[in-house]
Amino acid sequence: MSKKNIAVLGAGKMGLGIAQLFATKGHNVKVIYVYDDKTRYDSAQVIRDNLSVLVKNDVLTQKEADEASARIGFVDTIEEVADFADIVFEGIIENLEIKQDYFKKMDEIFPVSTVLATNTSAISVTEIAEKSVHKERIIGTHYWNPAYLIPLVEVIKTKYVSDETVKKTYDLLEEAGKKPVIVKKDVPGFLANRMQHALFREALSIIENDIADPKDVDDAIKYGFGMRLGICAPVEVMDMGGLDLTYSIHNYLFPHIESSTKPSRLLTENIEKGNLGFKTGKGLMEWSPEDVKKANVELTEGLIKVAKALDRL
């Protein structure tokens, strides 16, 4: 596939991660500043720092990192990339009205051939497209943080999107080394977040009911079925063990599993106390500044090790 010109709307963590991803794959990228992006931090330095971690861990050479960094430019307005972009990835605030207005503006400015993609993790992509005329070229592409390391991208279809837009988006992501999956219905939570937060709900319920402490909940996943998930996921596990066995377990277990449709009391109580996690030093567990730094480093370097081991970089 020939290299595409990529525009990214927003220079937040996800936007910069998406920009870095495509730049390392040889695409030219323009990042469009919104709000206070330009003054909040040095976006180019954030990308250089991310690339240096990849160099340190032998994912890229220094030459490759320098070349990737040079492929990324920054602009102040959408109009500056109107004749540049083959696809735009939006990564701004999770606010429906704001996204709708930005997509309406992009729909008016960009040629009809330009794909307009949103990285929303929660908002209906169909609703985001509502104010636009050319709804058939608007699609969801939900990356996972960090976008340059985690292969998954959920490609979310709307009731308006064309098959051509879906194919162009899917092929671009696959060529860039991502693992795109098609979400056929634009439902809340899309695909992976529905499963992830079902797990979170049960984890919170176990803690709330004093079945296990927070650290033991995490360790049960990290050192148990979590190690297997990257290789053999639920559908394969059920078929491997037998659907009759799965049925028997579900028939016995499901009445005892959390089924609340409201957020956990543990969350609301901690939020009321100002315990928000890393940002306040305490959430469900205590976090010193050193703990926070260590956890962030371990996440990035751990993901690199896992991706290398499974040949997913």
What range does the domain containing 88 cover?
Answer: 5-183
Task: Supply the DSSP symbol for 136.
Answer: G
Residues 29 and 87 in one domain: yes
* pTM summary value: 0.94
Are residue 295 and residue 161 in the same domain, yes or no? no
How many separate domains does the chain show? 2
Helix/strand/coil for 89: strand
**pLDDT score at 1:** 62
Query: What is the structure's pLDDT at 20?
Result: 98
Side chain identity at 190, as an amino acid letter? F
* Three-class DSSP labels, 195-263: HHHHHHHHHHHHHHCCCCCHHHHHHHHHHHHHHHHCCCCHHHHHHHHCHHHHHHHHHHHHHHCCCCCCC
Question: Which of the listed residues 139, 163, 183 is the one where a domain comes to its end?
Answer: 183
Helix (H) or strand (E) holding 9: strand 5-9
The rounded distance, in Å, linking the Cα atoms of 291 and 142 is 29
Dihedral, CA of residue 167, residue 31, residue 44 and residue 291, to nearest 10? -60
Which among 177, 109, 169 is positioned nearest to 138, based on CA atoms? 169
Q: Which residues pair with 5 in a beta bridge?
A: 28
Q: Same domain, yes or no, for 10 and 75?
A: yes
Same domain, 56 and 177: yes
- The CATH number that applies at residue 252 is 1.10.1040.10
Domain C-terminal end among 128, 150, 183: 183
pLDDT at 77 (0 to 100): 97
**Is the same domain home to 256 and 227?**
yes
Cβ 24 vs Cβ 69: under 8 Å: no
- Which of 158, 183, 208 is the last residue before a domain boundary? 183
Distance CA 138, CA 2 (A): 22
Question: Within this chain, do residues 204 and 170 fall inside the same structural domain, yes or no?
Answer: no
> What CATH code is carried by the domain that includes residue 67?
3.40.50.720
31 close to 43: Cβ distance less than 8 angstroms: yes
pLDDT of the residue at 313: 86
Same domain, residue pair 39 and 161: yes
Neighbours of 83 (CB within 10 A): 11
What is the per-residue burial (b if ≥16 Cβ within 10 Å, else e) of 285-312? eebeeeeeeeeeeeeeeebbeebeeeeb
**C-alpha separations of 250 from 50, 129, 243 in Å:** 43, 39, 10
Distance CA 67, CA 23 (A): 8
The bridge status of strand 138-143 relative to strand 152-156 is antiparallel
pLDDT string in tens for the chain (313-residue length) = 689 999 999 999 999 999 999 999 999 999 999 999 999 999 999 999 999 999 999 999 999 999 999 999 999 999 999 999 999 999 999 999 999 999 999 999 999 999 999 999 989 999 999 999 999 999 999 999 999 999 999 999 999 999 999 999 999 999 999 999 999 999 999 999 999 999 999 999 999 999 999 999 999 999 999 999 999 999 999 999 999 999 999 999 999 999 999 999 999 999 999 999 999 999 999 999 999 999 999 999 999 999 999 999 8
For residues 138 and 222, state if they share a domain. Answer: no
Q: Domain check: are 176 and 204 in the same one?
A: no
Residues 67, 19 share a domain: yes
CB 280, CB 274: distance < 8 Å:
yes
Q: How far is CA 14 from CA 10, 105, 129, 145, 205, in A?
A: 8, 21, 21, 7, 30
**Length, in residues, of the chain:** 313
